[in-house]
Amino acid sequence: MSSSSAAKGKAPERVNGTDTPYELPWCVKCTRYVIVRDGNVPHLVLTGMPGIGKTTSIHCLAYQLLGDAYKEGVMELNASDERGIDVVRNKIKAFAQRKVTLPPGRHKIVILDEADSMTAGAQQALRRTMEIFSNTTRFCLACNMSNKIIEPIQSRCAILRYAKLRDGEILKRLLEICELEKVEYNDDCLTALIFTSEGDMRQAINNLQSTWSGFGFVSGENVFKLCDQPHPVVVQSIGHSAVDIIVTIFRVVKTFDELPEYTKLEYIKVCRVRFMYEACVTDFDVHEIGLTHMRILEGVGTLLIQLGGLVARLCKMNMKPELFRF
């Protein structure tokens, strides 16, 4: 790596057999640098899909800031389990009021995992607690959907949005674990683990461990057996439900690198559908593949008819319109 690339925060990463530069987002790089340098961590909201390291990032930052006082200065709560207003009024407030010996200029840290599961009342109470104890305690919220966090809390926090992990990043970690744990595997298993995880590092590692513990050898076939998913190459074989097949089609389209991005978006783009059930009318969003999924779940027609219609609609998007005229 050249000195100029290092100065810009770039590091070469090998993805799909090619060297592609990766640049850490400036908002993340600068925020982390300033926090570690000054020790003044702001209230944070970390948002992104599951299993990409949001909670781990907070723990690493807290340990780097507090050092030996980490155990006394950090409280972690899973907001999906303890999400009521009583938790905020009792546990969190009691921790914020407690006196703890910390390094100079440091703050106690409250980590709220899955904060988007907190009730509206609990979030309102948390907002007030953040205001009162901001001089001694900082709050770090990890969530999958930041729009479920009320605006008053969002406005008091620095929001960091985590992107989906690249396949190369998951592959690197899986190879390190296989080497450390002496796991016997083949190359097909790595592809299967990445495919079934859909960017979720935790899911990929759990599938690797479960396959190794259950079968004694990690292969692509064993991974798909463990995940109870059909192999995308042999998805036409019998023994799999229609739902399995349509979900596999969606995953293949979403992760197929050789498909142009515009075409991929056309296949999975969102459209508005009105669904009527028991005199209730509901509008919700589905994509072309999702529409077929919905029809299969409703039991409309046979699998062959639904898949045939889906393939025809997908082909129509990439073919000349005059070919479909009679």
Q: At the topology level of CATH, where does 242-322 sit?
A: Zinc Finger, Delta Prime; domain 3 (1.20.272)
CATH number of this structure's domain 26-161, picked from the four choices 3.30.70.920, 3.50.50.60, 3.40.50.300, 3.40.50.720: 3.40.50.300
The contacts found for 276-285 with CB under 8 angstroms, 24 or more apart, are: none
CB 115 within 8 A of CB 143: yes
Judged against a pLDDT cut of 90, whether residue 175 lies above it is answered with yes
- Summarize the confidence of residues 87-94 as an average pLDDT: 84
Q: What angle do CA 36, 39, 40 make, to 5 degrees?
A: 120
Compute the mean pLDDT over every residue in the chain, rounded to the nearest whole number. 75
Enumerate helices (H) and strands (E) in the chain, giving the number of each: 16, 9
Judged against a pLDDT cut of 60, whether residue 17 lies above it is answered with no
- pLDDT tier at 3 (50, 70, 90 boundaries)? very low
Judged against a pLDDT cut of 90, whether residue 174 lies above it is answered with yes
Is pLDDT larger for residue 7 or for residue 34?
34
Judged against a pLDDT cut of 80, whether residue 7 lies above it is answered with no
Task: Identify the pLDDT of residue 28.
Answer: 54
Start-end ranges of CATH 1.20.272.10 in the chain?
242-322
Task: Identify the pLDDT of residue 134.
Answer: 86
Judged against a pLDDT cut of 80, whether residue 317 lies above it is answered with no
Task: Identify the pLDDT of residue 197.
Answer: 86
Is pLDDT larger for residue 102 or for residue 81?
102
- The strand pair at 280-287 and 270-277 is best described as antiparallel
Start-end ranges of CATH 3.40.50.300 in the chain?
26-161
Start-end ranges of CATH 1.10.8.60 in the chain?
167-227
Judged against a pLDDT cut of 80, whether residue 126 lies above it is answered with yes
CA 36 to chain CA mean position, Å: 25
Helix (H, G, I), strand (E, B), or coil: what is residue 77? strand
CB 47 within 8 A of CB 54: yes
Is pLDDT larger for residue 323 or for residue 13?
323
Is pLDDT larger for residue 317 or for residue 21?
317
167-227 placed in CATH 2.60.40.10: no
- Summarize the confidence of residues 289-316 as an average pLDDT: 66
Could you give the CA distance from residue 2 to residue 9 in angstroms, rounded to a whole number? 11
Judged against a pLDDT cut of 80, whether residue 80 lies above it is answered with no
pLDDT in tens, 234-254: 655 555 566 667 677 777 777
- pLDDT tier at 16 (50, 70, 90 boundaries)? very low
Judged against a pLDDT cut of 70, whether residue 143 lies above it is answered with yes
- pLDDT tier at 37 (50, 70, 90 boundaries)? low
Could you give the CA distance from residue 87 to residue 93 in angstroms, rounded to a whole number? 8
Judged against a pLDDT cut of 90, whether residue 206 lies above it is answered with yes
Could you give the CA distance from residue 101 to residue 103 in angstroms, rounded to a whole number? 7
Task: Identify the pLDDT of residue 287.
Answer: 56
Q: Give the 3-state secondary structure of 2-20.
A: CHHHHHCCEEEEEECCEEE
Judged against a pLDDT cut of 60, whether residue 64 lies above it is answered with yes
